[in-house]
Amino acid sequence: MDEYEYGYGYECGKRFAGLGRLAMGIAWAALLLGLWMWGRDTTEGTGGPVPMTGDVAAVGRPPAHPLPPAHAPLTSAQPKSVMIKAAGVRAPIVASGLDRSGAVKPPPFSRPGTVGWYRAGPEPGSPGAALLVGHLDTKSKPAVFYGLSDLKRGERVRVARSDGTTAEFTVEDVEVVTTKRFDARRVYGARSRDRAELRLITCGGKFDRATRTYAANVVVSAYLTGTTGPSHPVSAGGQASR
């Protein structure tokens, strides 16, 4: 956690608030603009496999580490909570939309242990790339996604859903994406049309005490590899197979 200025990142949470507050946070402004663009791509059907290149720094990503095969996507169900044992995360999930300025509405800053799900995109476990966002820290302590950058390729993320299933995702990479070259389509777009994918995002990079901004975002990419509970995979025709 050397790149994080623990105890001084209060404005990171406030940077969820909107694009009109760029002076308060360039990193989150880039993130929110990316969410708006990504949401439009999702609804307009212009998404597709995305080449994973660009100005990123990989974290804990051995090139030859084998990963399990993808599980068939599940039918739609809203996420309820997320568990990441390796990062010490066990948190409720709340649905978030966009405000009038085109920015995603985050969990209240008074609830730093809550994760936001971008409800205009896919649900975790459904086809496409679902998005979960969380605060990094507060004035005095870590927030829900403080340990996100410690995740390694092959570790698991579990999302409990409203239909009683738990979608189990495997991390395929962890990236620190710089603000200067933030590519919304690359970061938020699905890598494969045939998979259910997950993105977990928080602030990252170096913290500038003068501007009270972070230089980047931590982006964890994972994909569905298993499920527990009454699973109903989606068939090729888009219908649940029973």
Q: What pLDDT is attached to residue 53?
A: 36
Question: How many residues comprise the chain?
Answer: 242
Q: What pLDDT is attached to residue 186?
A: 81
Q: What pLDDT is attached to residue 151?
A: 96
Q: Which residues contact 59 (CB under 8 A, 6 or more apart)?
A: 149, 151, 152, 174, 175, 176, 218
Q: What pLDDT is attached to residue 107?
A: 81
Tokens (6 digits) for 9: 């990142």
Q: What pLDDT is attached to residue 242?
A: 44
Q: What pLDDT is attached to residue 50?
A: 36
| Residue 19 near residue 32, CB atoms below 8 Å | yes
Q: What pLDDT is attached to residue 183?
A: 78
**CATH code that applies to domain 10-228:** 2.40.260.10
Q: What pLDDT is attached to residue 101?
A: 54
Q: What pLDDT is attached to residue 153?
A: 96
For residue 156, the cross-strand partners are 170
Q: For residues 160 and 65, what is the distance between their CA atoms, to the nearest angstrom?
A: 27
| Residue 145 near residue 90, CB atoms below 8 Å | no
- Predicted structure pTM score: 0.73
From residue 174, give the alpha-carbon distance in Å to each of 55, 181, 187, 238.
13, 17, 11, 30
Walking along the chain (242 residues) 10 residues at a time, the average pLDDT comes out as 36 34 39 51 37 44 75 96 96 84 67 92 96 87 92 97 97 88 80 94 82 83 94 51 45
